Amino acid sequence: MGVMLLFYENKFFRFLSASSTGVAMEGEPTYIVGESEQLTPEVLLSAIGPHHSLNIICANPQSTLEAFCERLVVVRAAGGLVENSAGDILIIRRKGWPDLPKGHIDEGESSEQAAIREVQEETGLCEVEIVAPLCTTRHFHNAYGRWEVKQTDWYLMYAEGENPTLTPQEGEQITSAEWLRARRLWNAVEESYSTIKVVFEKFLEYKISN
């Protein structure tokens, strides 16, 4: 199992067992979870302070993270990293930030159905198909006085054609959608959210192994 990650804005928390602390980066702050301690957003934000990342040392990283999420309001979402026939990747710009298309899972929808629908709605793509699941990201935030954690399932997708037409969904504050490659692509990823960088890491792992 990979490292369990939780995000808040552009900060991230790495959940580790005592035996896997070698994954931690030298100089990063560490918080040790006490026996039977229940983590809260306030505890995590106080522990991370001005730092970009925090190592959470606990007996069972997966169950500790899941228990944290269960104490918040869980909002499920899905999205896609879309590649075309030329190997270009679809990047949107939402609220000024490079991003990938994603959105809430509607009642009665599967995660896969929601991911395809959101990609189609936010980019105007008509024909897109799922190639493989990539990862699930979790980030928490305070929404109207309550703590929520958004759990987003990400999929690698394929769109036929070397330059399929894109139409950004302006109603969702998406100002552009374009196919990028090489330096322009990785500059956009570098400018984007920490969660999007994780999705691209998983995309590269998939490409290497397939």
**pLDDT in single tens digits along all 210 residues of the chain:** 457 899 999 899 999 988 765 555 566 789 999 888 999 999 999 999 999 999 999 989 999 999 999 999 999 999 999 999 999 999 999 999 999 999 999 999 999 999 999 999 999 999 999 999 999 999 999 998 999 999 999 999 999 998 899 999 999 899 999 999 999 999 999 999 999 999 999 999 999 999
The first and second tokens of residue 156, run together, are 């690698």
| Sequence-separated (6 or more) residues with CB below 8 Å from residue 55 | 13, 14, 16, 21, 24, 28, 29, 30, 31
C-alpha to C-alpha distance for 93 and 13, rounded to whole angstroms: 26
| Contact (CB, 8 A) for 120 and 150 | no
Domain 76-209: CATH architecture, name and number where available = Alpha-Beta Complex (3.90)
Domain boundaries, the chain: 4-70, 76-209
Pick from 119, 117, 92: nearest CA to 106: 117
pTM, entire model: 0.92
